[in-house]
Amino acid sequence: MEKTFPLKVVVWQSAFLGDLVLTSNLLLNLFENLPSAEIFLVARPFAVELFKNFHPNLRIVPLEKTLKGTWRVIKTVKGSDLAFGVQRGARTSLSLFLASIDERVGFSSAELSFLYTKRVEHSWGIHEVERNQKLLKAVGLKTFTDKLFLPIDKNLLKVAEKKFELPKEFVVVAPSANFEPKRWSSSHFAELIEKITSKGWTVVLIGAKGKDERVTQKVVSKLKDPSKVINLVGRTSVRELVHIIKLSRLVISNDSAPVHIAEAVKTPVITVYCATSSYYGFFPRRGLFFEPKNLSCHPCKPNPKVCKTGTEECRFAVSPIEVWEALKGFLS
């Protein structure tokens, strides 16, 4: 980096909540490398809550995925010194180019990748944190940490505990995911929840409004005694969700955002993979994960919207007993 400080740096990651949490490592390393830099994070609007108090020099630029919204972001970051296209869509590549940013670093597999001034290989088989760190190395920056980080407000911990009437010890279960092939079967979730509650533990269900509520209701409907769970799906803000996960003893989730939130706040997590796999690099590094075995169609792809065989075998492949035997150690 030959420019004088402070730099104006752009990080563009407008994908899902979990992807944004994983980008926290890139931000941590950028602030270590460039302590005087002003960093603009282009992301979906929930980033404002998620990264509140992350760093005094972090500026959140909420992206509305419309032509008008995209142009507003381009004008905001125009003339920056350096940009990292973490999101691999065409919108990211083109927008950073139109913003006349001197140095633009992205993945070679990104759409319109020729618009980047530097391109790095995007490969599976490594963790997402390592992939993102390749972007830093492309411009001679160092990696100081591998951790994820989300700010925690001690007062909000107390507020959330009181507001949602949470017990001192509880287990968080996140039954939903963006796409159905990534969701462990509702009957398997219900069986596991009943085993946990039978040992005196309270289970807290989490998720967003909309489809997460419908998915979770299927699980609840299969429980013999639904009164033993606290259903907070659709009832929390993003920040409250983060703080509830921080308060919990353990998180059990599909391959979805709660996995990475748990790691960022140092809560152990167990992930159940269905169509996807740890091979894609979104596995928990603080906890355990389970994957289907002996399925010729597995793994499918990183974000499968429909089952390519029509059987959905992967959603039933990991047994509740297998997960239960593993998680007992976390609760002892």
The residue ranges of every structural domain in the chain are: 8-137, 154-331
Task: Tell whether the model's pLDDT for residue 5 goes beyond 70.
Answer: no
Task: Tell whether the model's pLDDT for residue 323 goes beyond 70.
Answer: yes
Computed over every residue of the chain, the mean pLDDT equals 95
Phi, psi of 207 (to 5 degrees): 165, 175
Task: Tell whether the model's pLDDT for residue 1 goes beyond 60.
Answer: no
Task: Tell whether the model's pLDDT for residue 189 goes beyond 80.
Answer: yes
The DSSP-derived string for 265-312 is TT--EEEE-SSS-GGGS---SSEEEE---S-TT-S--SS-SS-SSS--
Task: Tell whether the model's pLDDT for residue 329 goes beyond 70.
Answer: yes
How many CB atoms are located within 10 Å of the residue 193 CB? 25
Encoded amino acid at 268, one letter: P
Pick the CATH number of 8-137 from 3.40.50.2000, 3.40.630.30, 1.10.3720.10, 3.90.1170.20: 3.40.50.2000
The two structure tokens encoding residue 187: 């009957």
Instruction: Please tell me the predicted confidence (pLDDT) of residue 290.
Output: 97
Q: Which residues contact 88 (CB under 8 A, 6 or more apart)?
A: 106, 107, 109, 110, 111, 122
Instruction: Please tell me the predicted confidence (pLDDT) of residue 6.
Output: 63
Q: Which residues contact 200 (CB under 8 A, 6 or more apart)?
A: none
pLDDT in tens, 258-306: 999 999 999 999 999 999 999 999 999 988 999 999 999 999 999 899 9
Task: Tell whether the model's pLDDT for residue 70 goes beyond 70.
Answer: yes
Task: Tell whether the model's pLDDT for residue 191 goes beyond 90.
Answer: yes
DSSP H helical segments within the chain, as ranges? 17-22, 24-33, 47-50, 67-77, 90-98, 128-137, 154-163, 186-198, 211-221, 238-247, 257-264, 314-317, 320-331
pLDDT in tens, 35-60: 999 999 999 999 999 999 999 999 99
Closest Cα to residue 255, out of 154, 146, 143, 178?
A: 178
How confident is the model over 200-209, as a mean pLDDT?
96
Instruction: Please tell me the predicted confidence (pLDDT) of residue 3.
Output: 52
Task: Tell whether the model's pLDDT for residue 152 goes beyond 60.
Answer: yes
Q: Do domains 8-137 and 154-331 have the same CATH topology?
A: yes
Task: Tell whether the model's pLDDT for residue 175 goes beyond 70.
Answer: yes
How confident is the model over 108-129, as a mean pLDDT?
96
Instruction: Please tell me the predicted confidence (pLDDT) of residue 332.
Output: 79
**% of the chain at pLDDT higher than 70:** 98
Instruction: Please tell me the predicted confidence (pLDDT) of residue 40.
Output: 98
Encoded amino acid at 100, one letter: S
Fold (topology level) of 154-331: Rossmann fold (3.40.50)
Distance spanning both ends of the chain, measured CA to CA: 50
Categorise residue 5: left if φ over 0, alpha if ψ from -120 to 50, beta otherwise.
beta
Closest Cα to residue 306, out of 180, 136, 165, 161?
A: 180
Which strands, in side-by-side order, build the sheet including 229-231?
229-231, 202-205, 170-174, 250-254, 269-272, 287-290
Coil, helix or strand for 144? Answer: coil
Question: Which band of pLDDT confidence, cut at 50, 70 and 90, is reported for residue 331?
Answer: confident
How confident is the model over 8-12, as a mean pLDDT?
98
Task: Tell whether the model's pLDDT for residue 4 goes beyond 80.
Answer: no
